[in-house]
Amino acid sequence: MTSQTSLNGTNGTRPLDGIRVADFSWFGAGPIAGRTMADFGADVIRIESEARVDGLRLGQPQKPGKSGYNVCAYFNNFNADKRSFLLNMSAEGSREVALRIIERSDIFLSNLTPRVIERWGLTYEELCEVKPDIIAAYQPMQGLWGPHRDFLGFGAVLTPTTGISHLSGDPDRRPVGVGTNYPDYAVNPGHTIVAILAALRHRRRTGRGQRIELAQIESVAATMGPALMDYTVNGVNQDRKGNRSTWMCPHGIYRCADDPSGRERWIAIAIRDDAEWESLCAVAEGSSFASDDRFATLLGRRRNEAVLNQAISDWTASFDAASLAVHLQSVGIPAALIQDAEDMCEHDDHLAERGFYAYLDHPETGISLYDGPTVKLHDTPGYLASPAPLFGEHTFEVATDVLGYSAQEVAELTASGVLA
């Protein structure tokens, strides 16, 4: 198998060098899993189609004055280090090309519904006919079988479906969710990568591939353990609690002084026990809450939490949030500045020193920020070698170098509408 050239690492390789992925996924959960493999050396071929362009290619944010399929930062961040291959699965002859890609790959990745997979003839049994040891990872939102198997949705649908939205927000207001498509960004691609690595190890030992079914709804529901246990064991159907905790108090977000530009600044403070409470009171000596006997114990703080939160907000209002967070941390109190994008990109010295963000030169967007690999291997580290591909940038390259078509055959497939 071919792979992108390794550029660093103490032994000149990345752990997934030589692995090829036929990435038939789109939007979030699938492409993020694919990019993780690309970061660690896999040759990820992203199958795309102008007949149904990935919606993230048309999304926001886009650089002012730029438009088209190649300028969405959202898409580009999740698709660095990949190759883009245009294949119209609605055209006659396209399935043969798709199977040819899969035959030359180690992993098939898709988060499309079972209905689409079956219509295209890309079920696991059909893939095994051309690649018996293929590892086929399917990530349909509701799974490959069951009454809701063909339901459509994204992270914004999974958070309410799995109960997360019900628990998110203030108790006297409607559910608000988590503000981002958390299932797409974290849990679903993370579970998928673990399963793929396990399947790769199994194949190395036995020579056999296998089908991976990651029902996104079950992957996300697995994070709801405490609430489900509370219901099944105690009969308690938990509701929204805002920022309140069942065992920490205070546990909340508090307004600090605005910065010189007028930007709101906030701090998060979490107190786990009476010792930390006493430390907070020592820092806040002279405040209204520091000597109030109502707050001397956890039970007292819980009983009077609304009053306590207001008192802490009155105290923090005059402080610089970042400086206060550092001071509280120095005396053993969990605290943090509530950071926004500017903070993380420009002012977070910790992320900067660790080199988390990478800046890559994209042909249309120029120098742009990308998330770096979230896992660091000391001997074979992952890294970003190239920015996101232009739409269809590698179609001819993949068709000839990977699939073995001649230039004339590529021209014929393009003329017939199979390739673009």
Both structure tokens of 104: 């030359």
pLDDT at residue 179, as a whole number: 83
Domain end: 303, 319, 347, which one? Answer: 347
Would the pLDDT of 398 be above 80?
yes
Pair (332, 195) in one structural domain = no
Instruction: Supply angle C-alpha 150, 152, 155, rounded to 5.
Output: 135
Domain end: 347, 363, 396, which one? Answer: 347
pLDDT at residue 12, as a whole number: 63
Q: Per-residue pLDDT tens for 72-131?
A: 999 999 999 999 999 999 999 999 999 999 999 999 999 999 999 999 999 999 999 999
* 228 in a structural domain: no
Pair (156, 34) in one structural domain = yes
* 318 in a structural domain: yes
CA distance 227 to 242: 15
Pair (219, 256) in one structural domain = no
Pair (300, 285) in one structural domain = yes
Pairing mode, strands 82-86 and 210-213 = unpaired
Pair (107, 188) in one structural domain = yes
Q: Per-residue pLDDT tens for 403-415?
A: 999 999 999 999 9
CA 139, 144, 149, 150 dihedral sign is positive
pLDDT at residue 1, as a whole number: 37
- CATH number of residue 206's parent domain: 3.40.50.10540
More reliable by pLDDT, 142 or 1: 142
How far CA 193 is from CA of 34, 212, 387, in Å, comes to 8, 11, 21
On average, the pLDDT of the chain sits at: 94
Residues annotated as part of the active site: 184
Question: What is the average per-residue pLDDT within 195-223?
Answer: 97
Q: How sure is the predictor about 377, in pLDDT bands with cuts at 50, 70 and 90?
A: very high
Residue 389: partners with Cβ closer than 8 Å, 6 or more residues away: 46, 79, 82, 83, 84
Both structure tokens of 198: 């396990």
Contact 398, 22 (CB under 8 A): no
Pair (132, 190) in one structural domain = yes
* 3 in a structural domain: no
Portion of the chain with pLDDT greater than 90, in percent: 92
Pair (115, 48) in one structural domain = yes
Pair (381, 321) in one structural domain = no
Q: Per-residue pLDDT tens for 264-304?
A: 999 999 999 999 999 999 999 999 999 999 999 999 999 99
CA distance 370 to 372: 6
* 375 in a structural domain: yes
Residue 138: partners with Cβ closer than 8 Å, 6 or more residues away: 110, 111, 114, 117, 124, 144, 211, 212, 213, 214
Give the burial class of 272: count Cβ atoms within 10 A of its Cβ; 0-12 exposed, 13-18 middle, 19 or more buried: middle
* 31 in a structural domain: yes
Provide the residue range defining the domain that includes 307: 251-347
Pair (49, 122) in one structural domain = yes
* 244 in a structural domain: no
Q: Per-residue pLDDT tens for 172-205?
A: 999 988 888 889 988 999 999 999 999 999 999 9
* 106 in a structural domain: yes
CA distance 357 to 408: 42
CA distance 360 to 80: 9
Q: How many domains does the chain have?
A: 2
CA distance 94 to 98: 6
- CATH number of residue 310's parent domain: 3.30.1540.10
Pair (119, 206) in one structural domain = yes
Domain end: 331, 347, 363, which one? Answer: 347
Q: How sure is the predictor about 4, in pLDDT bands with cuts at 50, 70 and 90?
A: very low
Q: Per-residue pLDDT tens for 130-162?
A: 999 999 999 999 999 999 999 988 888 999 999
Pair (71, 203) in one structural domain = yes
Pair (358, 307) in one structural domain = no
* 235 in a structural domain: no
Cis previous bond, 389, omega within 30 = no
